[in-house]
Amino acid sequence: MIKEILIGIVIGVANIIPGVSGGTMAVTLGIYDKLIHAVTHILKEFKESIKMLIPILIGAVLGIGVLSFVIKFLFVQFPVQTNFLFIGLIIGGLPIIWNRLKSTNKKVSIGNLIAALAFFALVVGMAMIGEAEGGAADVSLNAVNMIKLFLVGMLASATMIIPGVSGSMVLMIIGYYNTIIDTITLFIKSALSMDMTGIMQGIGVLMPFGIGVLIGIGVIAKLIEIIFVKAPNYAYCAILGLIIASPIAIILMSDLSRYNIISVLTGIVTFAIGYFAARKLAE
């Protein structure tokens, strides 16, 4: 269970970092297929699904809620090293995807290569677009904004669950990223200090967003499961393209002026830590 919670923490933290995909982390850590199956069969296989999902969910909540403060600090103080850590986590899982692709027992066709290149271009293109975020979104409590937050939650969940596509990056592009992150941190601080005004304000934003996320995950997970059953070779080629593009997206989304000899050398160390951590967690 501790291992699953740690995996959940990695997935949760990945979902709040622009350019990093929680779906990618799930794939590289070897639990993506099981996670999708647990979500889509939660009613038919309730006990087994809950046993799978609860520790992952606990870890994800810890990663998003508690470690968001730590990650924010690390990205301010050590951005290059933190980026390299997540690149290492991603690269460390590539052998798993390659082995899954080979296990489909089909030759890679031109169509498979096109799928890989198309999704590679999608991630890199989104990273290039997402370098600048617009103004903060209006989340004042009214019916229209609650509907918007619900729809934004569905969109974010769809991108969170698809390997290689960063939900945080999408939120940044549409102007909701800072608003959601600031609301999460404000809600946690308000809960710790028992500030009811801050708690209610946080609930008003996070509840419609969270409901949208949950519904979106259920719908997209079912769609992904169908794709894996009908066209596994195309699915794994597309995921391979998404994952290979992810390190490039992380670099594009970062401040290139922070890169120097020392930061890159120490970044190589954190890359190695991430790589071997991914290999260990995927065992």
At CA 15, angle to CA 157 and CA 227, rounded to 5? 45
Q: How many CB atoms lie within 10 A of CB 146?
A: 18
Which of 153-162, 164-173, 249-258 shows the lowest mean pLDDT across its residues? 164-173
Is 228 a residue whose pLDDT tops 80?
Answer: no
pLDDT in tens, 127-163: 676 544 444 566 677 788 888 889 888 877 776 777 6
Q: Which amino acid is at 28?
A: T
Q: Could you tell me if 188 and 65 are in contact, meaning their C-beta atoms sit under 8 angstroms apart?
A: yes
Cβ neighbours for 244, distance < 8 A, ≥ 6 positions apart: 94, 116, 120
Q: What share of the chain is helix, strand, coil (3-state, %, to 5)?
A: 80, 0, 20
Q: How far is Cα 139 from Cα 180, in angstroms, rounded to an integer?
A: 9
Q: Which residue has the tokens 């308000």?
A: 190
Six token digits for residue 231: 């066209």
Report the pLDDT value the prediction gives residue 120, as an integer from 0 to 100. Answer: 87
Share of the chain above pLDDT 70, in %: 83
Which of 16-30, 81-95, 124-138, 249-263 shows the lowest mean pLDDT across its residues? 124-138
Report the pLDDT value the prediction gives residue 187, as an integer from 0 to 100. Answer: 87
pTM of the model: 0.64
Residue 164 pLDDT class (50, 70, 90 cuts): low
Cα–Cα distance list, 191 to 68, 185, 199 (Å):
16, 10, 6
At CA 82, angle to CA 79 and CA 84, rounded to 5? 110
- Closest residue by Cα to residue 15 from 210, 257, 228: 210
pLDDT in tens, 194-203: 888 888 888 8
Q: How many helices (H) and strands (E) does the chain have?
A: 14, 0
Pick 256 or 39 by higher pLDDT: 39
Q: Which residues of 267-278 are buried (b: 16+ CB within 10 A; e: fewer)?
A: beebbebbbebb
What is the arithmetic mean of pLDDT over 79-97?
A: 81
Q: How far is Cα 283 from Cα 278, in angstroms, rounded to an integer?
A: 9
Report the pLDDT value the prediction gives residue 133, as an integer from 0 to 100. Answer: 45
Report the pLDDT value the prediction gives residue 106, as an integer from 0 to 100. Answer: 65
Cβ neighbours for 70, distance < 8 A, ≥ 6 positions apart: none
Give start and end residues of each alpha helix (H) in 162-195.
167-173, 177-193
Q: Which residue has the tokens 């309730």?
A: 46
**Phi and psi at residue 42, in whole multiples of 5°?**
-65, -30
